[in-house]
Each structure stands twice: as C-alpha cells, then as structure tokens.
Amino acid sequence: MTNGVFYAAQAPQTAIAEMTFHRLLFFAESPRTPWPANPAEYTAFAVQYRTRKAIDLTRGRFKAQSAAWSHPTDYSKCQALAEAARLAAVEAIRYQSVRDPQQGMNVALLTCRVFTTPEPVGLQTWRIHLRATGAQAVCEAPKSAIAFDRDTFAADPRIATLPWDR
C-alpha cells in the first residue's frame, strides 16, 4: 500500500500555476474535447503545519541533484525519495515547482500529524479560463490575475503538442 501525500504550494500563485498545468494536461490528453465555455472555479486555501523533521530539495546536497527532482514526466526519483524520507521519519519535503514560471515553492506533507489545526484558513476563489491563446486565472478577492500563454508550460512534451485551436 502506498501512503498518501498532501501536496501544497507556499503561495496561491504557485498553486494556480500547478492547477492550470494539470487542466491543460487533461485537454492535451483529450485533443477532441472543446475548451469549456465557462471558467472552472477552484478554492485555494492555506493550512497550518509544523514539523521538526523536514528536507529542503533546494539546499545542500539535494540542490546538486535538482535535475532528478525536476523532470517534467518521470516522477520515479521523487517517489523513491519520498519513500526513503518516510523510512527516515521525515514529515515534509520542500521543493521548487516545476510548473510555476515564477519558480515558487511547494511542499509535500508525508503525514497528517503535521497539521496544527483541523480546518483550512485563508480561502480564495480562483476561476481558470482556458482558450486558444492560453489560460488566465482570476481571483476577485484579493483582486489578482495571472496569465499563461501557450509557451508557459511547453517545456513539458505533453503540453508542447497540445492542440490549442479547438
């Protein structure tokens, strides 16, 4: 049995980049599906956690192996690292987002023991619009917008071949 992982971003903009990528990946793998007429709505939320045992893949000996942690399609080295981390009682892994053009940080929480509150905090509603020119994410409160053009995620071979005109 594989244990679960709670994946999160340290900033809403990074989470939105990750979500937008995965929405586009769905359409890349379903090339005849038309773009949705309306934006998809998502809730970004914050959680509070604390741990004394974490690793940061952007520092020290892990930074030297950054290519292993940032492959666009092969997650096997990341999954092997997570399993080794669990065996060493590591509870959290901090790493740079492969999807975020601003190179924001993500965190993988390997156990629910790290959560310090039972409820999420800081809710935001984001709407992601997909169209032939790219994607746009809009948040009404606090007012914010992020645009992703066709080339934003093109380093991933699955997105590079995405048929944008539908």
**Domain assignment present for 103:** yes
> Is 82 a member of any domain?
yes
Triad 91, 50, 57: Cα angle to 5°: 50
In the DSSP assignment, the letter for residue 73 is: S
Reported as type and span, the H/E element at residue 157 is: helix 157-160
Q: What is the pLDDT of residue 2?
A: 72
Is 165 among the domain residues?
no
pLDDT in the model for residue 157? 96
Residue 61's domain spans which residues? 6-160
* pLDDT the model gives residue 69: 87
Residue 67 lies in a domain: yes
pTM of full prediction above 0.85: yes
116 assigned to some structural domain = yes
Q: Is the pLDDT of residue 1 over 80?
A: no
Q: What DSSP state is assigned to residue 119?
A: S
Instruction: Tell the burial category of 31 from Cβ atoms under 10 Å away from its Cβ (0-12, 13-18, 19+).
Output: exposed
Give the C-alpha separation, 136 to 147, whole Å. Answer: 4
What pLDDT does residue 32 have? 94
- Look at residue 75 and tell me if it is in a domain: yes
Q: Render pLDDT for 17-56 as a digit per residue (tens, 0 to 9).
A: 999 999 999 999 999 999 999 999 999 999 999 999 999 9
Residues in CB range of 134: below 8 A, 6 or more apart: 147, 148, 149, 150, 152
List, in order, residues 6 or more apart from 130 with CB less than 8 Å away: 23, 24, 27, 35, 36, 39, 40
Q: Specify if 68 maps to a domain.
A: yes
Inside any domain, residue 166: no
3-state helix, strand and coil shares in percent for the chain, rounded to the nearest 5: 25, 30, 45
| Structural domain total, the chain | 1
Q: What is the pLDDT of residues 89-147, one digit of tens each?
A: 999 999 999 999 999 999 999 999 999 999 998 899 999 999 999 999 999 999 999 99
